[in-house]
Amino acid sequence: MNIIETKSLCKIFRDTAQEVYAVNNVDLSITAGEFTAIVGPSGSGKTTLLNMIGGLDTPTSGSIIVDGKDISTLSENETTAFRLHHIGFVFQAYNLIPVLSAKENVSFIMELQGRPKAEIDSRASELLGAVGLADRMDSRPAKLSGGQQQRVAVARALASRPRFVLADEPTANLDSKSAANLLDIMVKLNEQEGVTFIFSTHDPRIVAKARRIITLEDGGIVSDRSV
């Protein structure tokens, strides 16, 4: 079953003079358990597409069905709750709350969900262990390297038990070694826990790890291949 389905999805930005088709007529289906990369040159519409799938931006036309539900019909508060309970996010930067430790950052989202304290505690530890940060749980973000911070962000994204994780250029600010390391962790979580990942990148070495590669150009899909 498809967990994400877009139909004729369009996003048009209207500047003073011109119209930009940031996402142009995208039909896309994602099934559970995928590990999918969205690639394309800068300005090709990757961020815009991921934002719409994540309920952070609204389409100009077309529809996005997540788990059989058209998310463009939800109110603002419903969309927020939908994001909290169904989607995990990893952003390029500024993922973490600086005053909280790694473990508190991971716990925070589960607290927003209102999960029981014991579950929050064990799951946060377990996830930080899974991303290789068992010994840095009490460190604040400023004391962690960029790669470690992104790993905390991945753990945080998984903590809420989402249907899928959206990661918009999660390695853009990382050196190649940290980037490869982060990807390996994501691959492992995908394989072992069956977490669905959809991430964007323009780094060819990262793309190589994906099992499905969707290429965008000028807002449209120009190729979609599975490896």
Ligand X SMILES: Nc1ncnc2c1ncn2[C@@H]1O[C@H](COP(=O)(O)OP(=O)(O)O)[C@@H](O)[C@H]1O
Among 17, 77, 114, 227, binds other proteins (CB under 8 A): 77
Residue 11 forms beta bridges with which residues? Answer: 23
Residue 4 is classified by DSSP as E
* H helix count then E strand count, the chain: 7, 10
Q: Which of residues 19-58 bind other proteins (CB under 8 A)?
A: 47, 51, 54, 56-57
CB 27 within 8 A of CB 53: no
Q: How far is the CB of 72 from ligand X (least distance, A)?
A: 18
Among 24, 36, 44, 95, binds other proteins (CB under 8 A): 95
CB 166 within 8 A of CB 71: no
Secondary structure (DSSP) of 45-71: SHHHHHHHHTTSS--SEEEEEETTEEG
Does 22 participate in binding ligand X (rule CB under 6 A)? Answer: yes
Q: How far is the CB of 164 from ligand X (least distance, A)?
A: 19
Distance CA 175, CA 55 (A): 30
Look at residue 19 and give the partner it binds from other proteins, ligand X, Mg ion, none, a contact being a CB closer than 5 to 8 Å depending on partner kind.
Answer: none
Look at residue 108 and give the partner it binds from other proteins, Mg ion, ligand X, none, a contact being a CB closer than 5 to 8 Å depending on partner kind.
Answer: other proteins
Q: In what order do the strands lie in the sheet with 87-90?
A: 87-90, 164-168, 197-201, 35-39, 212-217, 220-226
Distance CA 163, CA 160 (A): 9
Among 3, 26, 39, 45, binds ligand X (CB under 6 A): 45
CB 105 within 8 A of CB 128: no
Q: Can you tell me which residue has the tokens 């939908």? A: 82
Q: Which of residues 34-53 bind Mg ion (CB under 5 A)?
A: 47
Q: Which two tokens stand for residue 78?
A: 């419903």
Q: Which stretch binds other proteins (CB under 8 A): 30-38, 110-118, 144-152, 175-183?
A: 110-118
Q: How far is the CB of 52 from Mg ion (least distance, A)?
A: 13
Does 6 participate in binding ligand X (rule CB under 6 A)? Answer: no
- Contact set with other proteins (CB under 8 A): 47, 51, 54, 56-57, 76-77, 80-81, 83-85, 87, 89, 91-95, 97-100, 104, 107-109, 111-113, 156, 160, 168-169, 172
Binding site for Mg ion (CB under 5 A): 47
- Positions in the binding site for ligand X (CB under 6 A): 13, 20, 22, 40, 42-48
